[in-house]
């Protein structure tokens, strides 16, 4: 059930290799600007040649970017030519680490065109770590609100627990099928209320109404939500947490005057350029940092502390948020990664993935069974308007049923295709896509929190535990789209797929 039989697999592999040798072909008829991105084909042949050498089709750039060989070479050269150690000291090896970490910090601000007087960079483990820093330290209180869109990563959804502990109200702004966008009227309504508030404590100026959080680009559907919402929320009295993890790999974000300037911006660097992993950051406005109060302290975050009496004083500015020893051997790779993206030119990457995504969507909609019934159901925008390169969909078998995502995961892996299956840590996107309203979800509140994912799927009546997600990036080509389309049609056209016999789902 999980594998293509050997003779069919041999035919498929041979045909896929032929597909991989095709030129840009028909994409230029609909997207002639694709020709201007030819420089990326050369990079695919050199810096990302391991893809073709390993006969691998990579379609999960929203999950993680791919690193150029030059990035690995630079890391090796740095570590084999110099000595580095814990930067929390004044010895020569520590000073060497501190110098490179601070250079990377300034390079981040430069990349975003952010003023060092207005913004600071706090290195974290990933974007999730950045969200936690804000959530645990934000001054939620009774009568304040945490407003966020249905379309959010769980790293942001989880902040509602901090809000709840401080008796703040959580308000979700729904998305609407089929495009999975937010109704602007609903957003304005959620942000509305009496204003101005009374002045807060000395030094904090006017009290904020609460925190508004949303993704610049959905990691589920690829929808790009308006950056103008930052100004809207701020005028309504909110601080803004902008999740830019899925947005930045193919689009630059400017934090200079005249552009939206959120109080908090979350970033995972491996999403942009593949390496290093384990390094993200929170880019925060200095005035907003002053409103946060951490619930604990650790090594590196305090100026002084005593144990004879319970007293401590926090470090100044962003240092109070970088717990323990920073990843000083990998943070300098962020500097090189940003230099690499700048040399390649993010505008060129954006043009390429926009063309590939549009062409991919056009071809998905043309996939049909012999009866004329569609093979694909797309969730989210079906064109290139205000969207990124992430496409969520499901295969529909010949009987009209959704193909179980576990089968797709296994069969795509057997064909050396890397894509994503499941809910992508974005339950709100899936709930809207599958039409799950509050009435459908209400039974979940009456059962144990230890319920299995499979029991949850059956309880709410889902046809599957999620969807299939394909996303494009810097090293993607037309041959990648050709190969996927051939595999999809060959594998699922006119096929009735099994309904059971799959291993249990460990998570969504």
Name the band, by pLDDT with cuts 50, 70 and 90, for residue 455: low
The predicted structure's pLDDT at residue 146: 97
Residue 206's DSSP bridge partners are: 199
Residue 391's DSSP bridge partners are: 470
The predicted structure's pLDDT at residue 6: 40
The predicted structure's pLDDT at residue 83: 96
Residue 501 pLDDT more than 80?
no
Q: Shortest CA distance to 242 belongs to which of 155, 137, 312?
A: 155
Name the band, by pLDDT with cuts 50, 70 and 90, for residue 448: low
Residues whose CB is less than 8 angstroms from the CB of residue 105 and which lie 6 or more positions away in sequence, other chains included: 121, 123
Q: What is the pLDDT of residues 12-27, one digit of tens each?
A: 444 444 433 344 668 9
Tell whether pTM > 0.75: yes
Q: What is the pLDDT of residues 286-310, one digit of tens each?
A: 999 989 988 877 877 777 888 888 8
Residue 91 pLDDT more than 90?
yes
Q: What is the pLDDT of residues 208-233, one digit of tens each?
A: 899 999 999 999 999 999 999 999 99
If DSSP codes are grouped into helix, strand and coil, which group holds residue 309?
Answer: coil
The predicted structure's pLDDT at residue 174: 94
The predicted structure's pLDDT at residue 423: 79
Q: What is the pLDDT of residues 174-209, one digit of tens each?
A: 999 999 999 999 999 999 865 444 444 333 446 789
The predicted structure's pLDDT at residue 504: 72
Show the tokens assigned to 329: 């051997």
Q: Shortest CA distance to 157 belongs to which of 237, 80, 241?
A: 241
**CA distances for 485 relative to 18, 237, 355, 470, angstroms:** 13, 48, 16, 12
Which position has the token pair 């230890």? 450
The predicted structure's pLDDT at residue 21: 38
Q: What is the pLDDT of residues 96-110, one digit of tens each?
A: 999 999 999 999 999
Q: Report the chain's mean pLDDT, rounded to a whole number.
A: 89
The predicted structure's pLDDT at residue 295: 85
* Cα separation, 154 vs 315, whole angstroms: 30
Q: How many CB atoms lie within 10 A of CB 203?
A: 7
* Cα separation, 20 vs 31, whole angstroms: 20
Which position has the token pair 């304040």? 144
Q: What is the pLDDT of residues 396-414, one digit of tens each?
A: 999 999 999 999 999 999 9
Show the tokens assigned to 196: 């101005």
pLDDT, average across residues 371-394? 96
The predicted structure's pLDDT at residue 8: 44
Supply the DSSP string of 97-111, one letter for each residue. Answer: HHHHHHHHHHHHHHH
Half-sphere exposure of 212 (CA within 13 A, CB side): 25
Half-sphere exposure of 189 (CA within 13 A, CB side): 8
Residue 440 pLDDT more than 70?
no
* Residues 87, 93, 99: CA angle, nearest 5 degrees: 55
* Cα separation, 480 vs 56, whole angstroms: 9
The predicted structure's pLDDT at residue 461: 63
The predicted structure's pLDDT at residue 322: 87
Supply the DSSP string of 137-200, one letter for each residue. Answer: HS---TT-EEEEESS--HHHHTHHHHHHHTTPEEEEEPEETTTTEEPHHHHHHHH-S--SPPB-
Q: What is the pLDDT of residues 487-499, one digit of tens each?
A: 999 999 999 999 8
pLDDT, average across residues 448-456? 67
Three-state secondary structure readout of 377-441 = EEECCCCCCCECCEEEEEEECCCCCECCHHHHHHHHHHCCEECEEECCCCHHHHHHHCCCCHHHH
For residue 178, cis peptide bond before it (omega within 30 degrees of 0): yes
Which position has the token pair 């049923």? 401
* Cα separation, 22 vs 42, whole angstroms: 15
Show the tokens assigned to 470: 């394909």
The predicted structure's pLDDT at residue 213: 98
Q: What is the pLDDT of residues 118-161, one digit of tens each?
A: 999 999 999 999 999 999 999 999 999 999 999 999 999 999 99
The predicted structure's pLDDT at residue 14: 43
Q: Specify burial of residue 414 (Cβ count, 10 A radius: 0-12, 13-18, 19+).
A: middle
pLDDT, average across residues 226-246? 97
């Amino acid at each position: 059930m999980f594998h293509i039989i050997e003779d069919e697999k041999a035919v498929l592999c041979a045909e896929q290799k032929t597909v991989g040798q095709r030129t840009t072909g028909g994409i230029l008829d609909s997207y002639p600007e694709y020709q201007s991105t030819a420089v990326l084909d050369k990079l695919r042949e050199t810096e990302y040649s391991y893809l073709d050498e390993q006969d691998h089709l990579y379609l999960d750039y929203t999950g993680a970017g791919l690193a150029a060989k030059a990035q690995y070479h630079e890391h090796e050269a740095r570590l084999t030519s110099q000595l580095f150690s814990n930067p929390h000291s004044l010895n020569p090896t520590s000073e060497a680490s501190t110098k490179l970490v601070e250079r990377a910090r300034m390079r981040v601000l430069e990349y975003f065109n952010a003023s060092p007087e207005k913004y600071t960079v706090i290195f974290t483990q990933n974007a999730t770590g950045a969200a936690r820093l804000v959530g645990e330290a934000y001054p939620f209180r009774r009568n304040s609100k945490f407003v966020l869109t249905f379309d959010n990563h769980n790293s942001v959804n989880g902040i509602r627990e901090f809000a709840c502990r401080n008796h703040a109200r959580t308000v979700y702004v729904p998305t609407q099928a089929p495009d999975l966008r937010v109704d602007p009227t609903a957003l304005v309504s959620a942000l509305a209320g009496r204003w101005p508030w009374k002045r807060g404590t000395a030094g904090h100026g006017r009290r904020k109404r609460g925190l508004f959080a949303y993704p610049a680009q959905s990691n589920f559907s690829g929808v790009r939500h308006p950056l103008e919402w930052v100004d809207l929320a701020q005028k309504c009295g909110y601080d803004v947490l902008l999740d830019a993890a899925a947005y930045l790999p193919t689009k630059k974000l400017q934090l200079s005057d005249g552009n939206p300037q959120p109080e908090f911006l979350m970033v995972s660097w491996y999403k942009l350029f593949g390496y290093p992993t384990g390094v993200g950051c929170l880019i925060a406005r200095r005035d907003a940092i002053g409103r946060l109060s951490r619930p604990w302290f650790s090594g590196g975050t305090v100026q002084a502390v005593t144990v004879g009496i319970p007293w401590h004083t926090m470090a100044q500015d962003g240092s109070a948020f970088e717990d323990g020893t920073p990843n000083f051997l990998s943070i300098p790779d962020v500097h090189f990664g940003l230099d690499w993206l700048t040399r390649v030119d993010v505008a060129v990457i954006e043009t390429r993935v926009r063309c590939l995504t549009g062409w991919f969507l056009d071809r998905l909609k043309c996939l049909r069974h012999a009866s004329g019934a569609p093979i694909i159901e797309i969730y989210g925008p079906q064109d290139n308007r205000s969207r990124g390169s992430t496409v969520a969909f499901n295969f529909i078998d010949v009987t009209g049923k959704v193909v179980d995502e576990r089968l797709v995961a296994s069969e795509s892996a057997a064909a050396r295709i890397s894509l994503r299956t499941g809910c992508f840590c974005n339950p709100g996107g899936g709930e809207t896509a599958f039409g799950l309203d509050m009435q459908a979800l209400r039974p979940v509140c009456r059962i144990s929190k230890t319920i299995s994912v499979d029991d949850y799927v059956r309880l709410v009546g889902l046809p599957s535990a999620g969807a299939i997600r394909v996303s494009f990036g810097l090293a993607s080509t037309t041959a990648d789209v050709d190969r996927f389309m051939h595999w999809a049609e060959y594998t699922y056209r006119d096929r009735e797929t099994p309904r059971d016999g799959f291993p249990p789902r460990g998570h969504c």
